[in-house]
Every structure is written in structure tokens, then in C-alpha cells.
Amino acid sequence: MRSDDSDDPCARSRAKSGQDCCRPAVVRAYRELCERGQPDRFAFEAAVTVYRWHHPEVPPARAGDIVSGWVWNGTPH
């Protein structure tokens, strides 16, 4: 899905500081909604919303690709 992190501001932030930018909040939103019985799609959309709140400059489709890697594939930045 993703071959280049150059357009992911979270990856650039991690490269500079060594810390995850917003990934913990995104993954937590997804995980907690799933644990509360919400449909997977709703949890995913909420996680994308959290990501886009942190990075409104990222196009929605790209944000979805990044978040899907984190919550469905476990792919790091």
C-alpha cells in the first residue's frame, strides 16, 4: 500500500525526534472502539479522523493508507 514515507508527516517527525507523533492516539482510538463492540469500519473512520486532526494537510486517501497500515497491518512509520 505504501512505498514511501516522504509524504507522511508522522514519519518525518519520528525521524527528527525519535518519537511517534500521533500513532499512539490513532491506534488507541481504533482499538478502544473495537473493544467496545463498534464495527471495524466505524473504528477505522474514527482513527483516520484522529490522524487528520493531527495532520490536516494530509489528503484523506493518504491518511487512510497510513492509518490502515497502523491498525490493520501493524506497519510502523
46-57: per-residue pLDDT in tens?
A: 999 999 999 999
- CB burial of 48-72 (b: ≥16 within 10 Å; e: otherwise) equals bebbbebbeebeeebbbbbbbbbbe
Query: What is the reported pTM?
Result: 0.76
Q: Domain segments of the chain: what residues?
A: 22-72
Position 18 scores a pLDDT of 57
